[in-house]
Structure 1
Amino acid sequence: MTAPFVHPYIPNTAPESRAAMLAAVGAASVDEFYADIPASLRLSRPLDLPAPFVAEQDLARHVQGLLAKNRSTAERLSFLGAGTYNHYVPAVVDEVIGRSEFLTAYAGEPYEDHGRFQALFQYQSLMAELLEMDVVNVPTYDGYQATATGLTMSGRLTGRGRVLVVSDVLPAKLAKVHDYVRAHLTLDHVSTVGGTADVAAVRAALGDDVAAVWVETPSATGAVEAALSEIAEAAHAAGAVVVVGTDPIGYGVLTPPTVAGADIVTGDIQSLGLHQWFGGAHGGFIAVHDDPTFVMEMPSRLFGLATTDVPGEYGFGDVAYDRTSFAHREDGKEWVGTAAALWGIAAGVYLALMGPTGMAELGEVLLARTRYAQQALAAVPGVALDDDAVHLREFTVTFADVTAEAVVTALRTKGIEPGVVVDEHRLLVCVTELTSQADIDTLAGALAEVTASDLFAKEQNR
């Protein structure tokens, strides 16, 4: 008889420990915990893992070998974006969030407050100024969750169940939002024109069952929505809420969505002082006007300024805590899950360092670099831009004679990550302030070599 396996790293795998835990919860086997998961989604074999290493140094060597297979965007010329961006992170940001009063193991929650509440209040204030909104939450898990929460807020506010999706949305974001809202809302897609919303189609799709009009700007392809005011006017006339998903990096120069009529502005703060790493550090923001109707529907935490019993002294703490899922637990309107408070502090440091002038200069650089890259790539024979909208940071190109996957494969041999494949012939290209004019010229030259190769083109057309 084979002896039961006890993992050297996980003591609870011992048979007596497992039996005690199962008895405590009244379960006959571990399989009972997965009864709701369809058999088709379960792995019917053991994980493909190496045998456990007894010595710590052997385990460390093995893990180091795995990590060495990765290549970061700092090691290659990268034009990758699609939700996680390679912006410069000032050294002071990492220095501040590495301090013991902020750096914690979970959700930025120390057992004592040594300035964390004030730091998050300052972050919220800086974000509110950037977005020209009044109230901004403590960061949620990521921007996908933030947008999903903004949409579910609209459903509760209006009592309606349909959302018009009027922009091109990143597939990963769309899938995550759908998973989050599907119990309460249906997503109804309205086709775009020239990279941005089709206003006439949006008006035609509006009805008294529409809870929200969801606008992404910049969109999945980096297109900046030019008709937000018209969309907002039509949505409000139909009694719908306007929810905007966005990236705050451009609002030193672009007009914030709230000025054009947005009711709820959501997005991710990864571009504000958070590293790209291997998938990024992410945190979601939700911003609303100083309207109790909207504020009280926000399920996540807010920190505000409060007076104390001591004259001249003040403190920082939760605002309307009793509206949150933390207070109501299972009876809450919505559960917000893990907070990303540490990343909020990082974004706050970044915004304080940049200031209005720095954010304006950054926005101008991003717009200029994006346009230069569009022109440089469009000048390559066999490469065409997909639309004539204003783009921030990202845009798509179509290849006439080669596949996008083949272009990526060919350029990787030259140490270049040219972008993210959208479909067979389309590529999403991203530039930031870290992408120099010389970098863009290098990409254009490499693309010219690939698309000019008759042998390569013939191979792709077989």
Structure 2
Amino acid sequence: MTQTFVHPYIPNTAPETRAAMLAAVDAASVDEFYADVPDGLRLDRPLDLPAPLVAEQDLARHVRGLLAKNRSTQERLSFLGAGTYNHYVPAVVDEVINRSEFLTAYAGEPYEDHGRFQALFQYQSLMAELLEMDVVNVPVYDGYQATATGLTMSGRLTGRSRILVASDVLPAKLSKVRDYVRAHVELVAVPTVDCTADVEAVRAALGADVAAVWIETPSATGAVEAAIREIADAAHAAGAVVVVGTDPIGYGVLATPASAGADIVTGDIQSLGIHQWFGGGHGGFIAVHDEPRFVMEMPSRLFGLATTDVEGEYGFGDVAYDRTSFAHREQGKEWVGTAAALWGIAAGVYLALMGPAGMADLGEVLLARTRYAQQRLAAIDGVRLADAAVHLREFAVELPIPAADAVAALRAQGIEPGVVIGERTLLVCVTEVISQSDIDRLAVALAAAVSPVVASAEEQIR
């Protein structure tokens, strides 16, 4: 008789246990739980899994084999960006966040805090200074969620239901934000001009039903929006809120959205001391002015200074806890679950190390190297820049050959030249870890890849 092996810690795979669980919820089969999933999204075949591994060392060997297939951006020359960036992470950042009181602390209260609340308070303070805002949350899952929350906040604040999308947004971000907000507000795209917002088109689209104008800067292609003040003035005149999705990495040198009239500033902190890690550790920030109507719409946890029973002593605790879903439960305005608090501590350490002067130097380096890369690539016959906007870190180039072919050719030389965003369009990312000689190497390799096509075209013209 063949006996089925049942892992002692996964008992629901046993037929008897599964039957008991189905009976408890009055279901005839597991398929009933997936009735709402369209057939086109179902796998309808067994998962491609290896044969059962009965020993831990066998599992470890199998996983090492899978990981060995990966190549990190430290092993290859990488110009990949599009939401996850290869910035330098100082060694002390990893040292601090790997401390046990931070690394393993999922949740807690002041009496068992071990400094985590204080570290997050300091992160919030540093972010607020960088963004020229007053109130910043403990990080949520990622920048996508943070921006979606900022937009739903605008709907609640105004009682309106339409959001004007004024900038080019990364397709993945736009998809997630739309999925998050669709039950509350409608996203309406306003076509851009030269990869930046069309101010007149935004003005024309404003109306009494517009809750907010969503501006993304840098945009999906790294373009810096220069007309935030004009858009903000028009939006405010129409009673709408201005929500800006951004990356904080450039605000040591760029004017902040807050200084141009933004009401809610959101984004991701991955650039601030967090590795790419095959997709990145991400954390989303939401920043507002110190206005109760905005602060009380924030669903995320906030930490502030709190007095104690001992004169002269203070601690760190929740601010306006009664506005959160932790307090309201099912009556909450928006649910907030697990926070990306560890990444907030990482970003706090990074900002403390850099300081205002360091962030200014970094911003200048990013602007300069981005421009140098644009000039070097645009000098290649047949290659042109996709727009004339000012760019930070990323920019798009139009190629005379399919972008996928260019990627394949350069990848064979150990270069990841960028992300394909169109048939002949490549999104190139330059950070401070990319040197001038790295950019020159990319330019030489790309020129060699496109030269046969350019030469053929010139021959036909002759």
- TM-score, normalised relative to structure 1: 0.96
Q: Deviations over 1:116-169 (max 9, x none)?
A: 000000000000000000000000000000000000000000011100001000
CA distance in 1, matches of 2:264, 2:301: 16
Aligned to 1:186: 186
What SS does the corresponding residue of 1:197 show, helix, strand or coil? Answer: coil
CA distance in 1, matches of 2:443, 2:107: 42
Q: Deviations over 1:261-286 (max 9, x none)?
A: 00000000000000011000000000
Aligned to 2:50: 50
CA distance in 1, matches of 2:150, 2:171: 18
CA 1:240–1:8 in structure 2 vs 1: closer, same or farther (change >3 Å)? same
**Which amino acid is 2:441 matched to?**
T
Aligned to 2:370: 370
**Which amino acid is 1:90 matched to?**
P
CA 1:454–1:287 in structure 2 vs 1: closer, same or farther (change >3 Å)? closer
The Cα of 1:234 is off from its aligned counterpart by 0.3
CA distance in 2, matches of 1:126, 1:89: 17
CA distance in 1, matches of 2:405, 2:250: 32
**Which amino acid is 1:453 matched to?**
P
What SS does the corresponding residue of 2:271 show, helix, strand or coil? Answer: coil
Over 4 Å off, 4+ runs: 1-5, 105-111, 454-458
Is the contact between residue 208 and residue 239 of structure 2 (CA under 8 Å) also seen in structure 1? yes
Matched, 1:296 2:301: no
Is the contact between residue 223 and residue 389 of structure 1 (CA under 8 Å) also seen in structure 2? yes
Aligned to 2:402: 403
The Cα of 1:56 is off from its aligned counterpart by 1.4
Q: Deviations over 1:25-78 (max 9, x none)?
A: 343332222222222222211111111111211111111111111111111000
Matched, 1:279 2:279: yes
CA distance in 1, matches of 2:245, 2:171: 14
CA 1:156–1:97 in structure 2 vs 1: closer, same or farther (change >3 Å)? same
Provide the aligned C-alpha RMSD in A: 2.0
Aligned to 1:357: 357
Q: How many residue pairs get matched?
A: 458
Matched, 1:380 2:384: no
**Which amino acid is 1:270 matched to?**
Q
CA distance in 2, matches of 1:223, 1:145: 22
Aligned to 1:18: 18
Is the contact between residue 143 and residue 284 of structure 1 (CA under 8 Å) also seen in structure 2? yes
CA 1:12–1:209 in structure 2 vs 1: closer, same or farther (change >3 Å)? same
Is the contact between residue 163 and residue 188 of structure 1 (CA under 8 Å) also seen in structure 2? yes
Aligned to 1:439: 438
Q: Deviations over 1:82-112 (max 9, x none)?
A: 0000000000000000111111274799992
The Cα of 1:7 is off from its aligned counterpart by 5.4
**Which amino acid is 1:153 matched to?**
M
CA distance in 2, matches of 1:79, 1:109: 42
What SS does the corresponding residue of 2:266 show, helix, strand or coil? Answer: strand
The Cα of 1:303 is off from its aligned counterpart by 0.4
- TM-score, normalised relative to structure 2: 0.96
The Cα of 1:23 is off from its aligned counterpart by 3.5
Aligned to 2:195: 195
**Which amino acid is 1:317 matched to?**
G
Is the contact between residue 134 and residue 287 of structure 1 (CA under 8 Å) also seen in structure 2? yes
What SS does the corresponding residue of 1:422 show, helix, strand or coil? Answer: strand
Is the contact between residue 221 and residue 428 of structure 1 (CA under 8 Å) also seen in structure 2? yes
What SS does the corresponding residue of 1:355 show, helix, strand or coil? Answer: helix
Q: Deviations over 1:250-301 (max 9, x none)?
A: 0000011000000000000000000011000000000000000000000110
Aligned sequence identity (%): 82
CA 1:455–1:432 in structure 2 vs 1: closer, same or farther (change >3 Å)? closer
CA 1:197–1:54 in structure 2 vs 1: closer, same or farther (change >3 Å)? same
